[in-house]
Amino acid sequence: MPQTLMPQPCVDQRAIEIIGQHRLAQQTCLQRRGATDARGHIGRGHGMDRLLAALRPSGLYRQHIGRTPRMRAAAENLVPVTLELDGKCPVVVNEGFDIATAAERTLTVKTFNAGQICLSPDYVMLPEGAVDGFVEAAKGFMARAFPKVQDNNDYTSIIAPRHFDRLLDLIADAQAKGATIVPLNPAGEPVHDVATRKIAPVLILNATEDMRVMQEEIFGPLLPVVAMNVDQAIARINAHDRPLAAYLFSDSEAVQAQFGASVTSGALVLNDIMSHASIESLPFGGVGASGIGAYHGVHGFRRFSHFRPTVRQSAEGLSGQRLRAPYADKQAALENLLGPRN
């Protein structure tokens, strides 16, 4: 009988190096290249300068060219694609959940890198009566975590002047359309400073669908807050592109189960924000508009590998003889095995 050998992964060595560096830049534009043409996976994201600089000489880095052109280029070259995209990651707070805990855990990640993370909470939906409590808890969190913003190395600048201006435009657009703007800047400090490119966190209350801040991925320290119940929140999420992650704060297992069954997202985190990204045993990736495929730990190795089956035939080659003519005796034996026809 033939001997079945263990599947052997055929992996681009450079891809292994990229996976190894994934903690440096989880979202980096990557394209593996073979000897003559593209043979690998394409990833997308915002990236970090150190890794991008290392990739440029090797031909692995490509400028962001948009989803459609990238998918078209991949299809034309028969390149398997892994895309980690973006989206608006929603936070839903259920009735009865401790609002201070929800606010602190949401602001912990929203202020991390000044919200410039693909998994950063993009907007919050919570019960009508919890809005004031959320605002007060957010102010308390900022007073404890960031007594200073502008002259504080723990608080990150916006990556570029263009994005700094874009975020200010989002605030102005929301205010012009009726939102209540609640800046969380420390007393005596400006909300934003063009010299430092730092913008203190800003809550945007009464955000509506016609505001740009509810239409675009924010990627910054702005946080719209909308009053609605869980059922309304589920309907709102499902009416839009599928998010990279969805966050639910609820003590009710029934509500947790309902939310998980009703919402499609790249990941689901209960009673926390972004904690799944640090668990190497879990795959990381989006679904629909937020991505294709997943990586992380062994999932990344498998995603960037081809497990090639390998078989060594025996000297007698008996298994192959079943396919050799003449077939009459073989057909009779097969029919005998299957039994009489009805």
> Which candidate, 278, 276, 251, places its Cα nearest to that of 265?
276
Checking if the pLDDT of 106 tops 90, the result is yes
Is residue 295 within 8 Å of residue 284, measured between CB atoms?
A: yes
Q: What is the mean pLDDT of residues 48-61?
A: 36
Checking if the pLDDT of 338 tops 70, the result is yes
Is residue 39 within 8 Å of residue 79, measured between CB atoms?
A: yes
Q: How confident is the model at residue 116 (pLDDT cuts 50, 70, 90)?
A: very high
What is the Cα–Cα distance from 173 to 261, expressed in whole angstroms?
35
Checking if the pLDDT of 209 tops 90, the result is yes
Q: Which two tokens stand for residue 151?
A: 């002259």
Checking if the pLDDT of 29 tops 70, the result is no
Q: What is the pLDDT of residues 34-48, one digit of tens each?
A: 323 333 343 333 333
What is the Cα–Cα distance from 69 to 44, expressed in whole angstroms?
12
Q: What is the pLDDT of residues 217-247, one digit of tens each?
A: 999 999 999 999 999 999 999 999 999 999 9
CB < 8 Å & 24+ apart, contacts of 233-236: 233/90, 233/92, 233/125, 234/92, 234/258, 234/259, 234/262, 234/263, 236/90, 236/125
At 275, which amino acid appears?
S
> Which candidate, 298, 242, 306, 289, places its Cα nearest to that of 83?
289
Catalytic positions, please?
84, 118
Q: How confident is the model at residue 180 (pLDDT cuts 50, 70, 90)?
A: very high
What local confidence, expressed as pLDDT, does residue 269 receive?
A: 97
Q: What is the pLDDT of residues 243-281, one digit of tens each?
A: 999 999 999 999 999 999 999 999 999 999 999 998 888
- Using CB atoms within 10 Å of the CB of residue 329, give its burial: 0 to 12 exposed, 13 to 18 middle, 19+ buried: exposed
Checking if the pLDDT of 101 tops 90, the result is yes
Cis omega before residue 183 (within 30°)?
no
At 41, which amino acid appears?
H
